[in-house]
Amino acid sequence: MIKACIFDLDGTLTNTVRTLAHFVNTETAKHGIPPAPVEQFKYFAGNGARTLIHRVLAYHGIENASLEDTILKDYNAAYDANFLYLCTLYDGVADMITALDTHGIELAVLSNKPQPTTEKIINAFFGTDIFSIVLGQREGVPLKPDPYGVFEILEKLHCKKEECLYIGDTAVDVHTGQNAGLTTVGVLWGFRERQELEEAGAAYIIDQPSALLPLVFP
């Protein structure tokens, strides 16, 4: 019996590809770097802000640790100051979350986005009462696909591995759930394609938010 669901944020609950592109390209432009294509950010994202910036610079053939640090700092500050810019929920996500909450399913978020921004986004779209735990990137805590955050959530929810699903849109998410011993659900409305999710070994792959409900309430 499923009692809890842990969700990734970017590409799973929220469509932030244009948001990421805007804030990164704004900061790189200050250093004379041309904008990277918006669609490319679906592949730059997924492993935290530092890796995002590193991948964008690598896309432009730039390897400069000092520049990376500068852009990362300015990017995080700008993003956090205007965190809802171009950010939307995917169609059907609000109804899915409402249905799960109404039926007493514990809900949590585990993201590689910085903790303050992750919390602000969830609170803006869902308020403070829907998700029991919201975890983002925190100093000294390993990023996904390390299962540390999943174990932290399970402990706080007093939930067993077999009672929880992990839902996300990338191989990083699938591996996060697998590393923690959870059943994983890959979603196709996010940043990556079916092939990536299949190769990562997702237990289920769904193409719309409502398709999660039969997996929780069989």
Q: What is the pLDDT of residues 85-140, one digit of tens each?
A: 999 999 999 999 999 999 999 999 999 999 999 999 999 999 999 999 999 999 99
* Domain residue ranges in the chain: 4-15+88-216, 17-81
Q: Dump pLDDT digits (tens) for 33-65.
A: 999 999 999 999 989 999 999 999 999 999 999
For 198, half-sphere exposure in the C-beta direction (CA atoms, 13 angstrom radius) is 3
Give the CATH number of domain 4-15+88-216.
3.40.50.1000
Q: Answer positive or negative: Cα dihedral of 158, 161, 162, 164.
A: positive
Q: What is the pTM of this model?
A: 0.95
Q: Which residue has the tokens 């500050």?
A: 77
CATH architecture of 17-81: Orthogonal Bundle (1.10)
CA distance 54 to 48: 10
Q: Determine what percent of the chain is predicted with pLDDT higher than 90.
A: 99
Residue 86, judged by CB atoms within 10 A of its CB (0-12, 13-18, 19+), counts as: middle
